[in-house]
């Protein structure tokens, strides 16, 4: 199964390198669609809802990234890895719904964004990593969008302890296995992500890294990959 490239959007996004240093919000509009989302990722931008139908396009300066070789797996996380089972693209919509739960603190994924991610998944661009407990219940997971050698981690959630971190470990393992100096974007640096090895880099360096991975083959296949060992 091949990835489906949507028809080019009639909307254009600004060059983030022309934005003032330190500014995170680059542009705002009302359009959100797969083609525009992909165009944003390729330029170093990502979309988030601002209010009602207003969509913000962000390029944080500095930007949170997780160097694959710097992933920190604590002793407790190693124990958690043995407790859970991991799959890829088996329950994409369930993971997105878990991340979009309005009861979650800091939730931001509006219904139109859910629809857009669902369409990107159908087209082969968006992927999920699911973490299952011993009762085959969804304990947590993450989802994101991959373009060439770039993976944008959009959101993650957990219902059981360390389940979202287990998903991050599985994601990094997948990217490392694919080879190449891949770029794993987490948008902003937070204390939670910093504990996993996330660091922050300047916008100009981020865009330069993004361009360097543009020729790499994706680490994920559009079709369902099945269970990971």
Same domain? 55 vs 77: no
pLDDT, residue 58, reads: 98
Q: Could you tell me the CA-to-CA distances from 35 to 39, 119, 192 in Å, in that order? A: 6, 10, 31
Do residue 173 and residue 82 come from a single domain? yes
Helices (H), the chain: 34-43, 75-83, 92-100, 111-123, 163-178, 191-194, 203-212
Cα–Cα dist 48/128, whole Å: 19
Q: What is the pLDDT of residue 1?
A: 61
* Domain shared by 48 and 113, yes or no: no
* pLDDT score of 103: 86
Please report, to the nearest 10 degrees, the dihedral formed by the alpha carbons of residues 19, 153, 190, 140 taken in order. Answer: 160
Do residues 115 and 38 share a domain? no
Can you give the pTM of this predicted structure?
Answer: 0.94
Same domain for 81 and 178? yes
At 31 the pLDDT is 86
Are 89 and 44 members of one domain? no
Same domain (yes/no): 96, 53: no
The total domain count for the chain is: 2
pLDDT of residue 143: 98
Strands 183-187 and 150-158: parallel
Q: 140 and 188 share a domain? A: yes
Among positive and negative, which fits the CA dihedral 87, 93, 94, 97?
Answer: positive
Instruction: State residue 223's pLDDT score.
Output: 56
5 lies in a domain?
no
Query: CA-based diameter of the chain, in Å?
Result: 51
- CB within 8 Å of 222: residues ≥ 6 apart: 1, 2, 3, 123, 124
pLDDT at 52: 77
Q: In CATH, what number is assigned to the domain containing residue 203?
A: 3.40.630.70
Q: Is residue 1 part of a domain?
A: no
Distance between CA 143 and CA 114 in Å, rounded? 11
For residue 155, is it within any domain? yes
Residue 178 within a domain = yes
Q: What is the pLDDT of residue 51?
A: 81
Count of CB atoms situated within 10 Å of the CB of 7: 8
The residue range of the domain holding 70 is 64-227
* Residues 86 and 24 grouped into a single domain: no
User: What is the reported pLDDT for 106?
Assistant: 73
Full pLDDT tens readout for the chain, 229 residues? 679 999 999 999 999 999 999 999 999 999 899 999 999 999 999 999 998 789 999 999 999 999 999 999 999 999 999 999 999 999 999 999 999 998 887 779 999 999 999 999 999 999 999 999 999 999 999 999 999 999 999 999 999 999 999 999 999 999 999 999 999 999 999 998 999 999 999 999 999 999 999 999 999 998 544 434 3
What pLDDT, on the 0 to 100 scale, is given for residue 225?
43
Q: Within this chain, do residues 200 and 183 fall inside the same structural domain, yes or no?
A: yes
């Amino acid at each position: 199964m091949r990835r489906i490239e949507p028809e080019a959007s009639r909307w254009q996004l600004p060059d983030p390198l022309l934005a003032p240093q330190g500014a995170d919000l680059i542009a705002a509009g009302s359009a959100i669609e797969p083609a525009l989302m992909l165009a944003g990722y390729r330029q170093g931008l990502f979309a988030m809802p601002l209010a009602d139908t207003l969509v913000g396009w962000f390029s944080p300066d500095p930007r949170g990234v997780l160097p694959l070789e710097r992933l920190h797996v604590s002793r407790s996380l190693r124990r958690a890895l043995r407790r859970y089972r991991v799959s890829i693209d088996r329950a994409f919509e369930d993971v997105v719904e878990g991340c979009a739960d309005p009861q979650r603190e800091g939730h931001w994924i509006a219904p139109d964004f859910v629809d857009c991610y669902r369409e990107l998944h159908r087209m082969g661009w968006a992927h999920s990593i699911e973490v299952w407990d011993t009762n085959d219940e969804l304990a947590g997971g993450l989802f994101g969008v991959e373009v060439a050698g770039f993976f944008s981690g959009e959101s993650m959630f957990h219902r059981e302890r360390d389940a979202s971190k287990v998903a991050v470990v599985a994601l990094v393992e997948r990217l490392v296995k694919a080879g190449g100096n891949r770029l794993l974007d987490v948008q902003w640096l937070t204390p939670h992500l910093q504990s996993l090895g996330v660091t922050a880099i300047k916008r100009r360096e981020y865009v330069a890294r993004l361009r360097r991975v543009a020729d790499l083959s994706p680490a994920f296949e559009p079709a369902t990959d099945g269970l990971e060992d």
